[in-house]
Structure 1
Amino acid sequence: MSAAERARAERIEVRRSRESILAAAERHWAVHDADPSMAQLAKDSGVGIATLYRRFPGIDEVIRALHARLVAEFACIEEAVAVQPTAWDGVVALVTGIVDVLQDHPAIPRLNRKMVALDDDRQFSDGWADRLAALVTAAQAEGRLRPDVNANDVTFAAFRIGSYSNLPPDEAGRILGRQIGIVLDGLRADGGTRPLPGGPIAMDDLHRVFRYEVEHPVD
């Protein structure tokens, strides 16, 4: 094997091992608040402990790398918002997009909290602040978004819905869809309501949710 081939093989191995480590870390923080030990993370990712330490000197570096990767997932929401025909449609795309990303990556809320503890990190809010404020102002100028809310009101509501990840898979879409509909109706300037998706959430549905939480606990 030539020197160039060896270098290429090493780059591939570095990338592969980093991917394995970050994937294992995301799986862990999707259900646990407590950090894994480096030994546990090495075991979960299928890499040697020495390899893990070469890629990441400690858990804090894993948190930073994984947080940066998952925050990048929100770029697709900006793209979806940008192609909407009206600012209000952009608000709808923003809310549904945030919920979708959080459902796909339930580790994000925990990692956000960990980043604040590590760095008082503001990269997520700073990167979006001006664009979201402009979107909200435009939707209010259209007369479709109530005038007494700001971008933080909109995103906070979306994050609260999306962060509820411990739902039975066969019920999650209906329950979340109805909550999104309720939030959007609350944001409408005309106070109007639209039919909520899915059927009403009955007491039996709640019991199934509670049972699922008992059988699938998170830390």
Structure 2
Amino acid sequence: MPATSPVQRADAARNRERILAAARAGFAEPGTPLSMAEIARRAGVGMATLYRNFPGRQDLLEALYTDQVDAVCAAAAEVEGSPGNALIAWVHRFAAFFASKHQIAAELLAQAEGPGPVLDRSRERVLAAGRPLLAAAQEAGEVRGDLTLEQVLDMVIAVSAIHGDPEYSRPILQTALDGLRRG
């Protein structure tokens, strides 16, 4: 069978998804150090398969981060409701994304000499996806007109930095988001 047969490509794609799923689940466990060997074990693949898909840890982290940014950006087009409600729903999605990917982003920053192109591009993509939601909500008079999307997302990031479990920080975030609404 040739090396580029459709069966092998499908198998390779499944292996890549298994690796990403195992890494995603592993990074969701707070405080658990996650080695490449542990990711391979959880995915049920060998180290050669892992490194064929992701030559280094940074490659894997960037793929995980990019997948989640894709989901947040796609969510901007999927939220429903009035413009204000759509914005708030999307900001909640962003908050969940940020909380779950904080460890990955921190490791990406630690490995690089600064934010790097993946984090920079990701921020710009998220802002581009969310700006129409904020503009529509502001034009409809449903949210304050004196804030930029950068300010709104920085507020969410600041709330996410508060120590405590999600049950502790959820009402704090909701109070902050309630402050976006016009009185």
**Shorter-normalised TM range:** 0.7 to 0.9
Amino acid at match of 2:81: Q
Task: State the match for 1:156 in structure 2.
Answer: 154
One of 61, 81, 84 as aligned partner of 2:81: 84
Distance 1:63 1:181, change over 3 A: closer
Q: Secondary structure at the match of 1:133?
A: helix
Structure 1 residues not aligned, in runs of 5+ = 191-219
Matched, 1:95 2:91: yes
Q: CA deviation at 1:96?
A: 2.5
Q: How many residues align?
A: 178
Matched, 1:20 2:18: yes
Q: CA deviation at 1:62?
A: 0.9
Separation in structure 2 between the aligned mates of residue 189 and residue 27 of structure 1, nearest angstrom: 39
Separation in structure 1 between the aligned mates of residue 180 and residue 36 of structure 2, nearest angstrom: 45
For 1:178-189, what aligned pairs fall within 5 Å after superposition? 178-189=171-182
Distance 1:12 1:138, change over 3 A: closer
Q: CA deviation at 1:89?
A: 2.2
Separation in structure 2 between the aligned mates of residue 164 and residue 22 of structure 1, nearest angstrom: 28
Please say if residues 95 and 180 of structure 1, whose CA atoms lie closer than 8 Å, have aligned partners that are also in contact.
no
RMSD: 3.3
Relative to structure 2, which stretch is displaced further, 33-42 or 46-55? 33-42
Task: State the match for 2:71 in structure 1.
Answer: 73
Task: State the match for 1:46 in structure 2.
Answer: 44
How big is each residue's C-alpha offset from its partner over 1:79-131, in whole Å with a ceiling of 9 and x where there is no partner? 234x433x32222222233245457xx2x122233344532421222113245
Task: State the match for 1:145 in structure 2.
Answer: 143
Amino acid at match of 2:179: G
Separation in structure 1 between the aligned mates of residue 46 and residue 139 of structure 2, nearest angstrom: 57
TM-score (norm 2): 0.75
Q: CA deviation at 1:75?
A: 3.3
Distance 1:31 1:166, change over 3 A: farther
Larger Rg: 1
Amino acid at match of 1:125: R
Structure 2 residues not aligned, in runs of 5+ = none
The percent identity for this pair of structures is 26
TM-score (norm 1): 0.64
Please say if residues 77 and 98 of structure 1, whose CA atoms lie closer than 8 Å, have aligned partners that are also in contact.
no
Separation in structure 2 between the aligned mates of residue 123 and residue 33 of structure 1, nearest angstrom: 28
Relative to structure 2, which stretch is displaced further, 137-146 or 60-69? 137-146
One of 107, 111, 122 as aligned partner of 2:104: 111
How big is each residue's C-alpha offset from its partner over 1:26-60, in whole Å with a ceiling of 9 and x where there is no partner? 12222357863333332232211222222221111
